[in-house]
Amino acid sequence: MPALKNFTPFAATDFLSLTKQGEECLVLVVAGSFTLPPPGRLATTPLSPCDEQVPPPKADAYWGEPEKSSLRYESQAAYTRIATDVLLHGRAWAPRGRKVTRTQVTVRVGALEKQALVSGARVWYRSLVGLSASDPLPFESVPLQYEHSFGGTSATWREARNPVGEGLYESAKDAIDKPLPAIEEPRHPIRKWTDRPPPCGFGPVARHWQPRLGWAGTYNAAWVKQRAPLWPEDFDERFLQTAPQALQASPHLRGGERVVLDGVSPDGPIAFTLPAFRLLARCTFARRRERRRMTLDMVLLEPEERRVVLTWRATFPAHRELATHEVSSVRLLEPWEEDVS
């Protein structure tokens, strides 16, 4: 197995993976956990590393039972990410914890911005004009999970973009006294029970959900005969991105970007600057030695834990060379060191 020496103050691991071309590669991943500043004012000092460094996930983890809940963490074994994923795990909070019927959540990271309209519990009821939505009930907080966004699975229909959501009904009769989604895209609020708006969320999109599944390629009889178990020839690397499209930064984030999280704390906005670190990965085989600058390709915001996790990645070709691998290492570049491409 590969040997990895970690000279950073963060958590690190390595993975064996296959590229789109079916070639073996060695993936080095570093995850740095930092303490979020108190809400209500702009942080003027760099974020401090957490006492406990969260290791990069080696397996998928769901909020509940797989296939019946949304994805919480995805394995970091992907051989590349062509953009930086920005993810948020948290809750929508009423200001100062005083119950409201609606509120808005906003995530800004650099040039990226995504918003959500969050409402209290509502149901469809029969009115003079057909089915109408009841007034939302007051709430203090709502989990920002796809379970509370539009979607669902019925006897004959499955919302491929979010099969674990709520609000999908086959008939007006089925919809009576049933809930509407709590989390909506501000530009696509539900007005009729027949509406099928895009699900709204800030967490990772599972591999078997659309539109992500559409990038996975074609798995047919020709693939079974000619390519399996390799990626299909029409595999698109966008499949390896986990964040909603609006929260994918291309080109990659580098650190130093301004972050503002609004509506995720009862005590006001959380504002800070992403930590800016340069990481160097080195990989030594019997016949060659390579070094590469690591790429920041995931930012996970977890305000409930007062934590933000930055993930850096570097991938080294190792086709038919894994047996000659000697050692890998990751370290921080010193301020005076020249950058590495």
Condensed to tens digits (0 to 9), the pLDDT of residues 70-89 reads: 999 999 999 999 999 999 99
pTM score, whole prediction: 0.96
Give the pLDDT score at 227.
92
What six digits make up the tokens of 130?
């057909």
Rg (CA), the chain: 22
pLDDT at residue 155, as a whole number: 79
Instruction: Please return the burial class of 166, using the count of CB atoms within 10 Å of its CB with bins 0-12, 13-18 and 19+.
Output: buried
Per-residue confidence at 338, pLDDT binned at 50, 70, 90?
confident
DSSP state of 333: P
pLDDT-derived band of residue 152, with 50, 70 and 90 as boundaries? Answer: very high
120 close to 102: Cβ distance less than 8 angstroms: yes
Q: What pLDDT score does 341 carry?
A: 65
The pLDDT of residue 59: 96
Q: Provide the sign of the torsion angle of the four alpha carbons 205, 210, 211, 213, taken in this order.
A: positive
Q: Where are the alpha helices (DSSP H) in 126-262?
A: 172-175, 221-226
Are 87 and 298 in contact by the 8 Å Cβ rule? The answer is yes
Check pLDDT > 80 for residue 1: no
Given a cut of 90, is residue 19 above it in pLDDT?
yes
Closest listed residue to residue 107, CA positions, set 182, 210, 183:
183
Task: Give the pLDDT score at 44.
Answer: 84
Q: Return phi, psi of residue 323, to 5°.
A: -65, -20
Q: Which residue, among 127, 103, 121, 120, has the nearest Cα to 178 in the 3D structure? A: 121
What average pLDDT does the chain have?
95
User: What is the percent of the chain with per-residue pLDDT over 70, rounded to a whole number?
Assistant: 99
What is the distance, to the nearest Å, from the Cα of residue 260 to the centroid of all Cα atoms in its chain?
17
d(CA 233, CA 60): 25
254 and 82 in contact (C-beta within 8 Å)?
A: no
Other beta carbons less than 10 A from residue 181's beta carbon: 27
Dump pLDDT digits (tens) for 21-63.
999 999 999 999 999 999 988 888 999 999 999 999 999 999 9
- Give the residue with greater pLDDT, 341 vs 248: 248
- Predicted confidence at residue 340, as pLDDT, reads 75
Q: Is the pLDDT of residue 337 over 90?
A: no
Give the mean model confidence (pLDDT) for residues 191-197. 95
